[in-house]
Amino acid sequence: MLRSLNHVALTVPDLETAQKFYASMGLTGDGVGDDLVFRCDGRDQDQVRVIEGPHKRLTWISFGATVEDLDAMQTRLEAAGVALTDPPTANGGEGIWFRDVDGDLVNIRVADSAPQTRAPVAINNPGSFSRLAQRGAPDRNIDARPRRLGHILKFSLDVHRTIDFYTSLLGMKLSDRIADLAAFLRFGGDSDHHTLAIAQSEGPGLHHMSFEMGNVDQIQFCAQRMLDAGYRDGWGFGRHIYGSNYFHYVRDPWGSLVEYFWDIDFVPGDAQWEVEVAEANEESLYQWATSPPPEDFLTNYERRARADA
């Protein structure tokens, strides 16, 4: 089964635009051949890879697994008639490569999830105080930068078919579902509520990448920094129902979203978790928020860009 989310690769029309956007987020960038690679400070793991191309698209998703799990998944994929393919680039072609039922390229390699070396933010809860004799309200110039890539939501032609692919062949588990509109999948072992989410659309594409922050303050300071830099607000501040995480979304330069989150549900591998199936309505998207979701929240701008190209 899958164990970790390594990185997401995107193709974009202009690398300089990508460099400015992800640097504004607080990610650190470097070059790998002709591509750009971005990491979260304090975490020794690539999180976003950016490749130059004619239009924006989700290029691949990379997951980590053990040697034994990788062998078992390759056997299941081949038995199901899923063809393995060559790596798309000369750099970073480890593991196995194949396309899922939506045609999205997937990479599985032997890898562990890298730990975050930056200390957690001290928070006082009733009966548990970790911040003593210190003011809780931070300075406006605090170090509000993402700590890790937590999950990705991609568009799918058929949510149910995609659920079956990732659960039956790659060992993921369904956490919750919003009718036929969206689904939330987690890893088979210890896992966040979702590491891969799926939304119904007329074609594949990226809806959002989600980055974990240190607390609510860091969500808002990072989002405000992006808005001050001229990027378009997406939606937030609020709290989701499925995953329970606090959120704020910002639009990237190509129409997809970046989510900043904190305090997501965590499900141990041996825990009993009851899947909830919600109605397909606006209220299923959030527990509360400063405003309802915008009309274009679930718009597949990647499909629109391909249609206009």
- Interval 190-217: pLDDT, tens: 999 999 999 999 999 999 999 999 999 9
Whether 288 is in a domain gets the answer yes
| Model confidence, pTM | 0.95
Calpha distance 176→30 (Å, rounded):
37
Q: What is the DSSP letter of 284?
A: G
pLDDT tens, 280-303?
A: 999 999 999 999 999 999 999 987
Query: What confidence score (pLDDT) does residue 307 get?
Result: 56
pLDDT at 127: 87
The pLDDT value recorded for residue 304 is 63
Dist CA 50 CA 32 (whole Å): 10
| Residue 302 belongs to domain spanning | 4-113+146-308
Residue 28: strand pairing partners:
39
Q: What is the pLDDT confidence band of residue 239, given thresholds at 50, 70 and 90?
A: very high
pLDDT at residue 93, rounded to an integer: 76
Whether the CB-CB separation of 40 and 117 falls below 8 Å is answered with no
**Residue 305: pLDDT band with limits 50, 70, 90:** low
> What's the total number of domains in the chain?
1
- Written as six digits, the tokens of 181 are 């509109």
CATH number at residue 79: 3.10.180.10
Edge-first strand order for the sheet with 28-32 is 28-32, 35-39, 46-52, 4-12, 57-65, 105-110, 96-99
Instruction: Give the 3-state secondary structure of residue 106.
Output: strand
255 domain-assigned? yes
